[in-house]
Amino acid sequence: MNITITRYPEKRLALETDRLILRQWLDEDYAPFARINDDPRVMEFFPQLLSRDESDELANRCRELITERGWGFWAVELKGYGDFIGIVGLNAPQDRLPCSPCIEVGWRLAYRHWGKGYATEAGSRALRFAFEALMLNEVVAFTTSTNQRSREVMERLGMVNKNQDFDHPALVPDHPLSKHVLYAISRKVWKEKY
């Protein structure tokens, strides 16, 4: 896939859904994000929990990319409450993957906000941005094959398994989380669905 878009001009943009706001990061998001990254239930399918410094570094990277490009892994806020509940958004993976170069949609929510449809709602808004604002032809998603909840979000969004399972290059091949599945949705299929 050819990816020519590197930035979106509306840098102060926030995306809205019925219940959520996807927006640029604020300083006050860093502490709740660190709690998410230190929760073994949330991090079950990641190689390790993140320390406060590692979590802050990740938040800084997300924030800088949004400043630079106008899009990325947005901070997700519950409308009307102002609570930071996690991250959802778009990313250009730097690892060499079967889909590279590609743009992925991804999500990580605080445990107490699971089971309410927020990841699907925010993911759907991120896809709309990918296809209507960035004019991408395809968006992918990938996760370790045993991460059923994440796979179900992909399926609810209309993404299909490309049957191109791969060992994640950042993990040793016999690592229990190494096997990944790759899902995708094309602009054409997205238009038919939405």
Ligand X SMILES: CC(C)(COP(=O)(O)OP(=O)(O)OC[C@H]1O[C@@H](n2cnc3c(N)ncnc32)[C@H](O)[C@@H]1OP(=O)(O)O)[C@@H](O)C(=O)NCCC(=O)NCCS
**Which residues would be at the binding site for ligand X (CB under 6 A)?**
42, 45, 106-109, 114-120, 143, 147, 149-150, 153
C-alpha dist (Å) from residue 92 to 49, 99, 112: 23, 11, 28
Residue 6 Cβ vs ligand X, minimum distance, rounded to whole Å = 23
C-alpha dist (Å) from residue 25 to 7, 54, 99, 127, 176: 17, 16, 28, 19, 32
Residue 150 Cβ vs ligand X, minimum distance, rounded to whole Å = 4
Q: Quick one: 8 or 38, whose CB is closer to ligand X?
A: 38
Q: Quick one: 82 or 115, whose CB is closer to ligand X?
A: 115
Burial 89-124 (b: 16+ CB within 10 A, else e): bbbbbeeebebeebbbbbbbbbeebeeeebbbbbbb
How far apart are the C-alpha atoms of 101 and 97, rounded to whole Å? 8
Are 149 and 113 contacting, i.e. CB atoms less than 8 angstroms apart?
A: no
* Closest residue to ligand X, based on beta-carbon distance: 117
| Cβ-Cβ contacts under 8 Å for 71 (sequence gap 6 or more) | 8, 13, 65, 89, 90, 129, 133, 134
Residue 194 Cβ vs ligand X, minimum distance, rounded to whole Å = 16
Q: Quick one: 10 or 115, whose CB is closer to ligand X?
A: 115
How far apart are the C-alpha atoms of 8 and 59, rounded to whole Å? 20
Residue 45 three-state SS: coil
Q: Quick one: 32 or 117, whose CB is closer to ligand X?
A: 117
φ, ψ of residue 30 to 5 degrees: the values are -65, -40
Residue 5 Cβ vs ligand X, minimum distance, rounded to whole Å = 22
Residue 108 Cβ vs ligand X, minimum distance, rounded to whole Å = 4
Q: Quick one: 70 or 86, whose CB is closer to ligand X?
A: 86
Residue 185 Cβ vs ligand X, minimum distance, rounded to whole Å = 15
Q: Quick one: 33 or 118, whose CB is closer to ligand X?
A: 118
